Amino acid sequence: MSKQTRMVISAITILAAIVFGVIKLTATSSETTSSRSSSTSTTTSQSTTRSTAAAGDTRPDTPSTTRAAASTRASNLPTISVAKLPAQAIEVLGLIETEGPFPYRQDGGVFQNRERILPDREAGYYREYTVETPGSSDRGARRIIVGAGGERYYTADHYDSFREIVDS
């Protein structure tokens, strides 16, 4: 099976999971409005460190983020819905949710926010992941940045601009 076919299958699978998750959340929230406040939180779990065999370094584990129906946004940046992201970015979101494996050793590394476009947070708060660019001979310019609180951002121009990723 070709890489492109695998990517399309992954994107369809992720989109289906998102759609079914939204349908499930909608049915649940209309049935149990009293417990709604607890279902709108974002849960993040992190392990301490893992070893990267290829590079011999250690870095914090990838955040495993379970996103619930959140009505608040983390920033005032423009938004992009998951459905509007390129297929490669949707695939990366799936890898982030399942904690990899990631194609590049830099994936999951600390994003330092040197450009100061994202909300100011303590060092180590943000992690970055490569979104492959078709036709590029290197990692390309596209990235997904994930905050420790579960917020997600997309850049198509190597950190010159960001859009906050929203579920719908």
Average pLDDT over residues 123-140: 94
Looking up tokens 């950190």 gives: 159
pLDDT for the residue numbered 34: 34
Annotated catalytic residues are 128, 158
pLDDT for the residue numbered 50: 33
Band of pLDDT at residue 88, cut at 50, 70 and 90: very high
Predicted TM-score of the model (pTM) = 0.60
CATH fold for the domain made of 3-166:
Nuclear Transport Factor 2; Chain: A, (3.10.450)
Backbone Cα Rg of the chain: 16
List all residues 6 or more positions away from 28 whose beta carbon is below 8 Å from its beta carbon: 39
Question: What single letter denotes the amino acid at residue 26?
Answer: T
Higher pLDDT, 84 or 75: 84
Tokens standing for 114? 């040197």
Render 150-166 in DSSP notation, one character per residue.
Answer: S-EEEESSTTS--EEEE
